[in-house]
């Protein structure tokens, strides 16, 4: 709330703090994310599980395209770890979107609002099968052997 005398805002104010309105330093643009998916995807198809040197190549590809010398002052270059974390986050989001797609119309052809879905679906479609394609396992009772007729030992007496 605004103080009636000095015009300052109190801590309980509904006005956003200046730090919350600034973009995050590690925020990924849509264009940089598309470049990341392309760079990662080509290596993912070739190698499967990427090693450190592959992630460094992915980071270099993103940096070469989006973080040139003139932009270096505005945003820091992406590291291999940042690229891997971004891909992991995209995979999680893809899995959620894939679930929505399988829960939609039976005709398929899901088109979501998420811009990265089709690119990731091309790369990961086989990795994350649609939930409707897999049938859940039925609950089957498992036979259990009868208990032994040998008497059990008595429990130890409580210590006094």
| pLDDT for the residue numbered 24 | 59
Q: Of 109, 107, 100, which is closest to residue 130 (Cα–Cα)? A: 100
| pLDDT for the residue numbered 106 | 47
* Predicted model pTM: 0.60
| pLDDT for the residue numbered 124 | 87
| pLDDT for the residue numbered 114 | 87
| pLDDT for the residue numbered 78 | 92
One pLDDT digit (tens) per residue for the chain, 160 residues? 444 555 544 444 444 444 555 555 668 889 999 999 999 998 888 888 889 999 999 999 999 998 765 544 556 789 999 999 999 999 999 999 888 877 755 445 566 688 999 899 888 887 766 554 444 455 666 666 666 677 777 878 888 7
**The tokens 């396992």 sit on which residue?**
137
The CA distance from 160 to 158, in Å, is 6
| pLDDT for the residue numbered 132 | 44
| pLDDT for the residue numbered 153 | 78
The structural domains of the chain, with segments of one domain joined by +, span: 26-124
Could you say which DSSP state residue 14 is in? S
| pLDDT for the residue numbered 25 | 60
């Amino acid at each position: 709330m605004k103080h009636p005398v000095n015009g300052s805002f109190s801590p309980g104010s509904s006005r956003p703090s200046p730090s919350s309105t600034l973009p995050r330093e590690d925020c990924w643009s849509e264009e940089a994310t598309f470049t990341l998916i392309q760079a990662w995807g080509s290596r993912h198809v070739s190698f499967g599980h990427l090693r450190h040197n592959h992630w460094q190549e992915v980071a270099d590809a993103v940096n070469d395209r989006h973080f040139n010398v003139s932009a270096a002052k505005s945003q820091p270059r992406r590291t291999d770890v940042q690229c891997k974390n971004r891909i992991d986050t995209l995979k999680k989001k893809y899995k959620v979107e894939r679930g929505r797609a399988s829960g939609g119309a039976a005709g398929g052809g899901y088109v979501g609002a998420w811009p990265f879905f089709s690119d990731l679906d091309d790369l990961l479609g086989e990795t994350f099968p649609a939930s409707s394609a897999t049938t859940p396992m039925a609950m089957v009772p498992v036979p259990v052997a009868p208990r032994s007729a040998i008497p059990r030992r008595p429990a130890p007496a409580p210590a006094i």
